Structure 1
């Protein structure tokens, strides 16, 4: 088996070919928003390789990165209509399945191990079941996302250090309320405006995963990475339920095995990227600051609970209590 990549219609197609005597029977289209260097894309390609091998080349996968097959919501709609087979998606699914909000609860997960325990356990099973029922797409693997961290030009070790810190947050009411409760002065702003606003002092801080802090060159205008870990989250590799039901039991088994291998591969890439990003940022002058995460979580709790739906509130309360 080998991989050939061709450029067609502006989209990079990772087309899985096989030298097997078995003829290719179907091709699954997998669209997503990440670029070709992202671990999600590389894991999606890995999924295609593994599925082709497991099915003796009968099932191929075409991977379309960079939203070239459509934006996230468009892909979900396409999967519901049967025009798209697969995508990578996360808390956007709460538009249909309220439990999907649990994928990204501020201070809901104390460590990546805690998050893994939830995602792969009973709560994760409940989330997946609701997504299948309400959205008609099926999660088959999950990928970790880098924890969101607070950057600034001074060390911040506890909520008391925020003291009205002017910071940019995404235009998400939950984020605004949580940072307000913590003592900062948050405001929404287009991501494209953040670098210049930090540079000219319109804002003093922002929050994002290390990979984005690096790619956006925030190290040029911010001196500290405060390890708040305020949002740990995951995202699903999914297949349209109509596509899933059209597969034989053996092919469904092959899909799940390929997905498990892709998940393990992505986690390796994820861990490598975290280490690489931290080293890069430190080499470019940023100081990493350990913070009192328990104090942040305690002060954020009421704002988080006020912003989640009644359906998931008991689960969020349990997450905070664990």
Structure 2
């Protein structure tokens, strides 16, 4: 698909718009995100726009800007705070303003997607959202699951003992570096653009990412195993600038939340299908999937995780590990 970087993707319910005169349109919202047009985040954003247009008789139109065409993630957050961006899909980067947002992506805090859902939609999730609204001036309206991060390598890794000095790339995140060091690996930060070549020439032996990124980066060409460590489960937030939210009537806020709920369910269905498709593709292209001793990994990582989180969220993280 060819994308015109100079024009947004107009995501509106055309049937609703054709039934309503142009002068009835009262608000156009700009929604930016980093994914491409085939990604479930984008498709769910378009679905949100269609549902909101239908529920407001076309008075509220959402323009969706994929591929960072409205700005990178931090730019979008800053834009929502300044009132130049109405909506974005973002995640743990919000911890720069709201420390509790770090809970969106804590290694080994969530034992399954069901466990993560319980947290995200429960009391802890409400506390996270409240702090994000107060301190970041960003209003969460829905959340999307991210694919769990898994370790790829050229030999099976079933327990922490199997790591044994494994040279691996990690993002430049102190928490990630400390956790993998505590597990016995030899992690080092590296730009993602350098990972394929470094795996190919043996500079590193392993890397960790969600299945979708393992597939799109063609790591199956230089790695033979996907070890199902699922060490980071996380979610992203579809958010609206608090200043934009405050401009909405009670009826329009209700319409926004109804449209967001439909978009969230729609994205989850696409997400689950994409996980299955990515695994099937990687297996068909030579990768072996390895079940790991998840409890052993979590136990070995716990101290490193707790030493890297803020005092504010440490008791919550301790509780999540204990569940």
Tell me which interval the TM-score lies in, with the shorter structure as reference length: over 0.9
* Higher alpha-carbon deviation: 23-32 or 94-103: 23-32
**Partner Cα distance (2:180, 2:36) in 1:** 30
Q: Distance in 1 between matches of 2:152 and 2:86?
A: 38
Q: Which residue pairs with 2:20 in the alignment?
A: 21
Contact 1:137 1:241 survives alignment (8 Å): yes
- After superposition, the Cα gap between the structure-2 partners of 1:313 and 1:161, relative to the gap in structure 1 and judged at 3 Å, is same
- Given that 1:15 and 1:63 are in contact with CA atoms closer than 8 Å, whether structure 2 keeps it comes out as no
Match of 2:72 in 1: 71
Matched position secondary structure for 1:127: helix
Shift of 1:11: 4.0
Q: Distance in 1 between matches of 2:97 and 2:56?
A: 33
1:6–1:14 CA contact under 8 A, matched in 2: no
Q: Note if contact 1:14-1:64 (Cα within 8 Å) is conserved in structure 2.
A: no
Residue 257 to residue 164, structure 1, CA distance change in 2 (3 Å)? same
Q: Residue 13 of structure 2 contacts residue 54 of structure 2 at CA under 8 Å; is this kept in 1?
A: no
Report the alpha carbon displacement of residue 55 of structure 1 after superposing the two structures with TM.
Answer: 0.9
Using the TM superposition, give the Cα deviation of residue 10 of structure 1 relative to its aligned residue in structure 2, in angstroms: 4.7
Secondary structure at the aligned position of 1:276 is classed as helix
Aligned to 2:205: 204
- Cα distance in structure 1, aligned partners of 2:203 and 2:73: 32
3-state DSSP class of the match of 2:18?
coil
What is aligned with 2:62?
Answer: 61
SS in 1 for 2:302: helix
Q: Which residue of 2 aligns with 1:245?
A: 246
Match of 1:168 in 2: 169
TM-score, reference length from structure 2: 0.96
Match of 1:225 in 2: 226
Which ranges of structure 1 fall in alignment gaps of 5 or more residues? none
- Root mean square deviation, CA, Å: 1.3
CA distance in 2, matches of 1:84, 1:16: 21
- Greater shift in the superposed pair: 92-101 or 73-82: 73-82
The CA distance in 2 between the partners of 1:166 and 1:205, in whole Å, is 6
Q: Distance in 2 between matches of 1:16 and 1:94?
A: 34
Separation in 2, partners of 1:70, 1:13: 17
CA distance 1:256–1:125, change in 2 (3 Å) = same
Residue 310 (str. 1) matches residue 311 (str. 2): yes
Describe the SS at the equivalent of 2:265. Answer: helix
- Pick closer, same or farther for the CA change 1:6–1:21 going to 2, 3 Å: farther
1:16 and 1:62 in contact (8 A); partners too: no
Higher strand content, 1 or 2: 1
Structure 1 ranges of 4+ moved more than 2 A: 5-8, 10-17
CA distance in 2, matches of 1:319, 1:26: 41
- 1:139·1:236 contact (CA, 8 Å) conserved in 2? yes
What is the TM-score normalised by the length of structure 1? 0.97
**Preserved CA contact (<8 Å) 2:150 2:228:** yes
- List gaps (5 residues or longer) in structure 2: none
Separation in 2, partners of 1:261, 1:9: 29
Name the structure 1 match of 2:101: 100
Tell me, yes or no, if the aligned pair for 2:11 and 2:50 is still in contact at 8 Å: no
Paired residues, number: 318
Structure 2 match to 1:86: 87
Q: Distance in 1 between matches of 2:306 and 2:196?
A: 31
**In structure 1, C-alpha distance between the alignment counterparts of 2:206 and 2:265, rounded to whole Å:** 34
Cα offset, 1:36, TM superposition: 0.7
